[in-house]
Amino acid sequence: MQIQFIPVRKTNSGFALAITLCFLAVSLLTFAYIMYLTSSSATVTSRNNLYNMSQAAAEGAVEMAVAQMNRDFLYQSLNPGTVYWMAVTNLVQTNWPVQFKITDTNGVQNQISVNIFPQTWQQQATNVAQLNSSRFPNMYGYVAECTVTANATPLNQSYDMTATVSQKLQMAGIPVFQFGVFYNLDMDLSNGKPMTMNGKTFVNGIIWMYPQNTMTFNDLVEATLVVTNHDNPNDQQNLTTYTAPTYNFTANGGKALDKATAVSMPLNGVNSNPTNVEAILNLPPAGVGAPLDAAYESSNQMYLYNKCDLIVSNATTGTNAIFGTNFVIYYQDKSGANTFTKLTNETFTFSNKVSPYSVYTTNSPYPGAGTNWVKIAAGFPWVTNVAFYDFRESDNVKAVQVDVARLGVWLYDPASQGYRWNQQCGGSDGANGTKGHPIDSVYVYNNITSLAGSPGTLPAVRVVNGAQLPSSKGLTIATPFPLYVKGDYNIQQAAAGPYSKLTTDTSHTYPAALMGDAITILSSSWSDTYNSSTALSSRNVPAGGDTVNAAALEGIVPSTYAGKKQYSGGLENFLRLEENWNGATLCYNGSIVVMFPSIYATNYWVGPSQLTGYPAPYYSVPTRQWGFDANFKTQFGQPPASPQIKAMIRGQWSTPSQ
């Protein structure tokens, strides 16, 4: 049987349609996928943009609280964290493209979370911490650890993109004596003999540095304006010899740094320009001085009058030998039953001189001496008034004198009333009283006026017999007037013990500070009989020299042009001198802090060489063995009542991942 095959013709048009439909389907799927991807990408982008906006809003809310905290802290009154929770209440979003709901970490609207530890910032050793800042390497401060957190949720949006932002901060009060040198105005340097500075040097201004001899810095040197190796244009010395300074540190490439961020000591409601800062030494403004309650608010504790344990003042008649001296001393303790206690006079001076007195006692203080005696002065065994001549100021000085050795006896002899108040304050170890330390700070206000026949009298304070301080907690002496130190100061911890004299080893010292309008060192050979006619060659210091171990805060007479050039004297003459040192050693270990122009001791510096048009020199140059007291670098090594600069130190921002 023969089978016949009939061929079938393919329909080309149907096949092409099928292929076309397949390609169309693939294209549609691809397009749909692309659209999906595009839509997803747009969603992700939109969500991401919205989240970034939420982060920015939360960050803005945090910054509002931080700004208020920083302002309060700089003016001495950081409040508990609860005060700043409502910092965003008045947040205006009128012109924002997206509105946000600001909440704290618990979801409470119109407030944020602010945690401050300790809750109330205080200048106490209990909250001392190392600073987390490259600006203050290896330095400590009285620190409040702060964390500020805010949530921001966008309103009326397709997505709930809530963002949380947190900022960690340190609000730090930094004791200024941690710097080897701190100037709140321009600093000059033109040393004629070798000098070495071991501590950090910081200047709010210009450093004019034109050393004539070796100048070595072993730690950071920074200025907010310029560090220049040029002589100050107002230096009347017209120097021509320059020696390049040596920088022995690795930071900043081993070079001085200019254009540094300013560091300041702001006052309550007043900025920290040099003239204003002088107020910390002066009497507080009306309404905020002790014994008023406002004096003990943290915002007013920058005034040393409000802060020191003892307040000493004399009568307006001052040191005149006829009128005698009448002293008043107050013990100050904001935690005591009486905030401000007037102490009872312990010493008295009598006179039977008829004139100028018109009121007499009825009974003589001396048996058999007759009647018509009058009590002309009253005081304490460790304070008196003295008079001497200042050769730089060309003036008669009338000074309240603090005898440090007698102060120590007064504080620790049970027969003295000072013992009672020292025990109430804290006793030798700080364990027995309300303040946690023995009496370790004295504020002295000299009330004298220019007496008849003594025009231009210069009020001042002088400390003597200070080789050994009263206690291991140290001693601070503060006054708004010029301050004089006679003889060795703070060189030993025990009368029969080893010395820290004529050496940079301060292991045998206690924390000490001297704060005044200007600081002048008088050698142990100084005589109060010197007068305007006493030649420099007759005012000789001891052959070996003297030593002062204390932080020093003072004013200077800045370089200026007032009819002729007037040089400040520079860092090398920070401590004023009045005698013929003739190469003998002046050893100083401490911290050099210049905060303001001098108000009282305002005569300009004149070098030891006779200069045309200037008076004869009033001192000859010592061998300056000056250094930074490394004890001040430790967290508990600061002198009592040390002033502080303020800084807000930012940590890392943090945001949870989304």
Helix, strand, coil % in the chain, rounded to nearest 5: 20, 30, 50
**Both 447 and 312 in a single domain?**
yes
| Alpha-carbon separation of residue 9 from 6, 12, 13, 20, 474 (angstroms) | 10, 9, 12, 21, 118
**Both 317 and 258 in a single domain?**
no
Residue 76 token pair: 């001495």
Given this model, what pLDDT does residue 320 score?
A: 38
Give how many domains the chain has, as a whole number. Answer: 4
Give long-range contacts, CB 8 A cutoff, 24+ apart: 279-282.
Answer: 279/303, 280/304, 280/595, 280/643, 281/478, 281/479, 281/480, 281/515, 281/516, 281/517, 282/480
Residue 242 has phi, psi (to 5 degrees) of -130, 135
Which residue, 237, 263, 289, sits at the end of a domain?
A: 263
Residue 47 has phi, psi (to 5 degrees) of -65, -40
Among left, alpha and beta (phi > 0; psi -120 to 50; other), residue 105 is alpha
**Both 63 and 190 in a single domain?**
no
Q: What are the tens digits of pLDDT across the range 56-108?
A: 989 999 999 999 998 888 776 788 888 898 888 878 887 888 888 989 999 89
Q: Could you tell me which of 266, 640, 245, 264 has the C-alpha nearest to residue 469?
A: 640
Q: What are the tens digits of pLDDT across the range 243-291?
A: 999 999 998 889 999 998 888 776 655 566 777 889 899 999 989 999 9
Domain range spanning residue 23?
Answer: 12-177+646-654
Whether residue 478 contacts residue 643, with contact meaning beta carbons closer than 8 Å, is answered with no
**Both 246 and 314 in a single domain?**
no
Residue 293 lies in a domain: no
> What mean pLDDT, rounded, does the chain reach?
85
**Both 368 and 452 in a single domain?**
no
Q: Which residues of the chain have pLDDT under 70?
A: 1-13, 32-43, 76, 119-126, 266-272, 316-325, 351-376, 450-455, 610-614, 635, 656-658
Residue 159 lies in a domain: yes
Q: Could you tell me which of 253, 270, 310 has the C-alpha nearest to residue 443?
A: 310
The single residue listed with the structure tokens 């930074």 is 628
**CB neighbourhood size of 627 (10 A):** 22
Beta-carbon contacts of 76 under 8 Å, excluding residues fewer than 6 positions away, are 266, 267, 268, 298, 299, 300, 301, 302
Measured CA to CA, the distance from residue 372 to residue 360 in angstroms comes to 5
Measured CA to CA, the distance from residue 647 to residue 643 in angstroms comes to 13
Given this model, what pLDDT does residue 453 score?
A: 53
**Both 364 and 513 in a single domain?**
no
Residue 282 lies in a domain: no
Residue 70: enclosing H or E segment and its boundaries?
helix 12-74
**Both 496 and 545 in a single domain?**
yes
Residue 553 lies in a domain: yes
**Both 44 and 164 in a single domain?**
yes
Given this model, what pLDDT does residue 98 score?
A: 86
Q: 484 pairs with which residues across the strands?
A: 462, 520
**Both 402 and 361 in a single domain?**
no
**CB neighbourhood size of 507 (10 A):** 10
**Both 325 and 243 in a single domain?**
no
Which residue, 213, 244, 263, sits at the end of a domain?
A: 263
**Both 188 and 63 in a single domain?**
no
Q: What are the tens digits of pLDDT across the range 443-487?
A: 999 988 755 555 678 999 999 999 999 999 999 999 999 999 999
Residue 291 lies in a domain: no
**CB neighbourhood size of 502 (10 A):** 18
Q: Could you tell me which of 511, 513, 515 has the C-alpha nearest to residue 493?
A: 511
Residue 410 lies in a domain: yes
Q: Could you tell me which of 423, 452, 450 has the C-alpha nearest to residue 436?
A: 423
Measured CA to CA, the distance from residue 97 to residue 61 in angstroms comes to 16
Residue 388 lies in a domain: yes
Whether residue 592 contacts residue 182, with contact meaning beta carbons closer than 8 Å, is answered with yes
**Both 444 and 593 in a single domain?**
yes
What is the residue-wise DSSP string for 427-480?
Answer: TTTS-SSSSSS-S-EEEEE------TT-TT-EEEEEEESEEE-SSTT-EEEE-S
| Alpha-carbon separation of residue 429 from 472, 593, 612 (angstroms) | 8, 29, 57
Residue 269 lies in a domain: no
